[in-house]
């Protein structure tokens, strides 16, 4: 339609497709998501909705576990999550060229989810461990996961483990497939495209709430 706006993601995709030489210095960050293993296009688009690969920066992640509740005879832990822009300044040229200014409306993105320990172990811990391979012990040597209920300090150990996982995401030490798995497991509310073509957050509590 005349006068309609294209979304930030669509404009970025067109920039990649129109490039005669492929990713350039300003688009290489999305290629870095697939450095060791190829990531399918849908996964890249999914990650881009959270701001990953849209410039010379990626969002940083904060995770924590502070409480649990007994529900229908099962113990569930609340994982509180946040994605925000890094503290480092974003060059104006990058914002203009990649048109990622809409990210300032999307981030920070905060949400929470409730998971049982076996879900955290089987659907998060094990895939992350497989992804990191031999380097897992190095990254998590000071944050061992509580693998079963009843271990002293289970809550504290879970909190340390997810905090360390968030640090690895922020340090860009995980490939794109693993990052997408983490976001999906944590029920991350992927921003949706508004009528004006911009992305809008779908956090389940206020964007200004701090972790």
Give the pLDDT mean for 67-91: 85
More confident residue, 54 or 178: 178
Q: Do 106 and 200 meet the contact criterion of CB atoms below 8 Å apart?
A: yes
Q: What is the pLDDT of residue 151?
A: 63
pLDDT tens profile 20-39 = 333 333 233 333 433 334 56
Whole-angstrom Cα Rg for the chain: 18
**For the segment 126-142, what is each residue's pLDDT rounded down to a tens digit?**
999 999 999 999 999 99
The secondary structure of residue 22, as a DSSP letter, is: S
Q: Looking at residues 183-207, what average pLDDT do you find? A: 73
pLDDT in tens, 150-183: 666 899 999 999 999 999 999 999 999 999 999 9
Following DSSP, what letter does each residue of 131-188 receive, concatenated?
Answer: HHGGGHHHHHTT-----STTSTTHHHHHHHHHHHHHHHHHTT-S-HHHHHHHHHHTT-
Quick check: 33 and 46 in contact, CB under 8 A? no
Strands 192-193 and 74-84: unpaired
| β-sheet bridge partners, residue 63 | 81
Give the Cβ contact number of residue 44 at 10 Å: 20
């Amino acid at each position: 339609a005349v006068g309609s706006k294209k979304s930030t993601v669509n404009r970025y995709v067109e920039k990649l497709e129109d490039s005669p030489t492929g990713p350039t210095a300003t688009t290489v960050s999305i290629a870095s998501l697939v450095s060791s293993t190829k990531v399918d296009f849908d996964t890249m688009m999914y990650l881009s909705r959270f701001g990953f690969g849209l410039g010379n920066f990626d969002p940083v992640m904060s995770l924590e576990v502070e409480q649990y509740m007994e529900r229908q005879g099962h113990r569930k832990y609340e994982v509180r999550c946040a994605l925000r822009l890094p503290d480092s300044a974003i060059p104006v040229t990058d914002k203009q060229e990649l048109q990622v200014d809409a990210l300032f409306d999307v981030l920070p993105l905060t949400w929470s989810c409730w998971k049982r320990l076996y879900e955290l172990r089987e659907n998060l811990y094990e895939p992350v461990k497989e992804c990191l391979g031999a380097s897992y012990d190095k990254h998590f040597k000071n944050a061992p996961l509580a693998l079963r209920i009843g271990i002293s300090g289970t809550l504290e150990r879970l909190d340390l483990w997810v905090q360390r996982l968030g640090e690895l995401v922020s340090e860009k030490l995980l490939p794109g497939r693993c990052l997408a798995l983490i976001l999906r497991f944590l029920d991350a509310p992927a921003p949706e495209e508004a009528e004006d073509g911009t992305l809008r957050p779908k956090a389940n509590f206020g964007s200004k709430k701090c972790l």
